[in-house]
Amino acid sequence: MTYLKSGDTIAIAATARHISEEQLNPAIQLFTSWGLNVVKSNSIFSVSNSFAGTDEQRIEALQILLDDEKIKAIFCARGGYGTVRILDKLDFTKFIRNPKWIVGFSDVTALFSHIYSNYTVSGIHACMPITMQGDLKDEASIESLKKALFGNEINYTFSANTLNRNMDVEGILIGGNLSVLCSLMGSKSEMNFDDKILFIEDVGEYYYHIDRMMQVLKRAGKLKKLRALLVGGMNDMNDNKSPFEFNKTCYEIISENVSDYNFPFFYGFPAGHEKTNMAIKLGENAKLSVCKNEINFSQH
């Protein structure tokens, strides 16, 4: 993959939920300040129910950007739901001849997984235009995105969690939103997890849903040969009136599901559906190093 430089052209597409011009403008101003030329996909401000236009409109708009050799990165404007509805109608023939960074998180996991499983092309899991404005904006996350895009070394330190199984580990990083990853099981967008560092995050789920999804991964054999598990934000979770497990956190539920395996696992990585959402390169090598009560994450 080629990293960006000043003067390059990037594009913003809406593959899922709709977005307004007012919500998008701060990101365009930011990218322009980085010396990038910004184009918007056709019909980006269209609205069809919760989507940014009909499936056909979103397919056509994204296809143009995938095919355009001048565009060096495609930012998904926001998540929500809808990317999976357009995957099978996209033609990646020209894209794989001239691959470009796909950038986003949440529902964009469907696009990351489909592209990596079929074409082994990397993507950048990071903040999106919708989170680059107002109270959602986080300077550290935006700076980490710039570093990832322009090829600078990524290096983060986060606190060790008592649930961790701390061991130094290095390998190819894959993953994204847990719910989306599970929804792709059995499809041609399902990735091979063997010998990979798996990153997961989620938001707004029920605690028993987290357990169920971890059971899905276990029963599908996805955890058996992992090199490591890296868990980011698990935010705004819900419980039934009859609690799933009293006082259990998402991290504890996940930990119970992976305790029988030998790979290391790390909790509290600063990425996901939280204000701090540090950029990581999926499909690229990553290293996790343990130092006293801290974990260092790095990608070159």
Calculate what percentage of the chain has a pLDDT beyond 90. 95
pLDDT confidence band for 248 (50 / 70 / 90): confident
Q: Using the predicted structure, report yes or no on whether residue 98 has a pLDDT greater than 90.
A: yes
Question: What CATH number should be reported for the domain whose range is 9-149?
Answer: 3.40.50.10740
111's tokens = 């696009």
pTM for the model stands at 0.96
Cβ-contact 66, 30 below 8 angstroms:
no
pLDDT at 292: 87
Mean pLDDT, the chain, rounded, equals 96
Please state the rounded mean pLDDT for residues 10-38.
97
Class of domain 154-299: alpha beta
List, for residues 184-227, the tens digit of each pLDDT value: 999 999 999 999 999 999 999 999 999 999 999 999 999 999 99
48's tokens = 């069809």
Closest to 165 in 3D by CA, of 245, 251, 56, 233: 251
pLDDT confidence band for 244 (50 / 70 / 90): confident
pLDDT confidence band for 245 (50 / 70 / 90): low
Q: Where are the domains of the chain?
A: 9-149, 154-299
Q: How far apart are CA 138 and CA 89, in angstroms?
A: 35
pLDDT at 109: 98
Q: How far apart are CA 90 and CA 65, in angstroms?
A: 11
pLDDT at 225: 97
